[in-house]
Chain A
Amino acid sequence: DAGVTQSPTHLIKTRGQQVTLRCSPKSGHDTVSWYQQALGQGPQFIFQYYEEEERQRGNFPDRFSGHQFPNYSSELNVNALLLGDSALYLCASSSGFGRAFFGQGTRLTVV
């Protein structure tokens, strides 16, 4: 049983560009949450998707958007990249009140 998988593992983008990160949840999970983890910090909640809709959102600008597909996989999109968007982006999946499982993350570097 594959756990949470994210792609790509590493990515380098230029300021102003747009990026799309992908996440496949653990089998049986229907909810996907995205977190941003800056170096030396704890993960910060970006938003959560359930039934293809954004259900909760953290304190992130509209440049951060997402999508969930019928197969529960999800994408995180970031527009107009800033240097400060450089971070490890983590996807977590869960179902109901079950525990959340994290993927290995995508390391985004903005230059």
Chain B
Amino acid sequence: GESVGLHLPTLSVQEGDNSIINCAYSNSASDYFIWYKQESGKGPQFIIDIRSNMDKRQGQRVTVLLNKTVKHLSLQIAATQPGDSAVYFCAENINSGGSNYKLTFGKGTLLTVNP
């Protein structure tokens, strides 16, 4: 089975509210985590990443939190906008010793922002 899973398949929020999307992973050897946004008919778009030696990283309107103790990852989107409506995937990488990534994705969470 997949080692990356999501707690909620759908999330509906009001415009302007903050959104929190959660993700659980099971492989303690994972060393790198990424959040992607995918709009209908498009490829995944990078949002933010975090390495396992960090527990928090902030970007523009987004924050990723990593809790290695419980193997949990979350994406926080501040002041959610209608353009944020999409499917959000977390992905993990296990460094097999070489460079680059073999990413394992979860099923995704559909975020709907209501005006």
- A residues near B (Cβ < 8 Å) are 4, 31, 33, 35, 40-45, 48, 50, 55-56, 58, 90, 92, 94-97, 99-105
CA of A48 to CA of B98, assembled, Å: 12
B98 touches A102 (CB 8 A): no
CA of A102 to CA of B41, assembled, Å: 13
- B residues near A (Cβ < 8 Å) are 2, 4, 34, 36, 41-46, 49, 89, 91, 96, 98-108
A96 touches B46 (CB 8 A): no
Output the least CB separation between A49 and chain B (Å).
Answer: 10
Top 5 A-B pairs, shortest CB-CB distance: A42-B105, A102-B43, A102-B44, A31-B100, A104-B43
Q: Which residues of A contact B36 (CB under 8 A)?
A: 102
CA of A50 to CA of B98, assembled, Å: 11
A94 touches B107 (CB 8 A): no
Chain B residue nearest to A4 (CB atoms) is B43
Q: Which residues of B contact A100 (CB under 8 A)?
A: 34, 46, 100-101, 103
Q: Which residues of B contact A43 (CB under 8 A)?
A: 44, 89, 103, 105
Given contacts A90-B44, A94-B101, 13 further A-B contacts (CB under 8 A): A33-B101, A33-B102, A40-B107, A41-B107, A42-B2, A42-B4, A42-B89, A43-B105, A48-B100, A50-B99, A90-B43, A101-B46, A102-B45
B101 touches A42 (CB 8 A): no
B42 touches A104 (CB 8 A): yes
A-B contact pairs, 29 of them (CB 8 A): A31-B100, A41-B108, A42-B4, A42-B106, A43-B44, A43-B89, A43-B103, A43-B105, A45-B103, A48-B100, A48-B102, A55-B98, A56-B96, A56-B102, A90-B44, A92-B103, A94-B101, A95-B100, A96-B99, A99-B34, A99-B49, A100-B100, A100-B101, A100-B103, A102-B44, A103-B43, A104-B41, A104-B43, A105-B43
Chain B residue nearest to A50 (CB atoms) is B100
CA of A35 to CA of B41, assembled, Å: 15
A44 touches B105 (CB 8 A): yes
Q: Which residues of B contact A55 (CB under 8 A)?
A: 98, 100
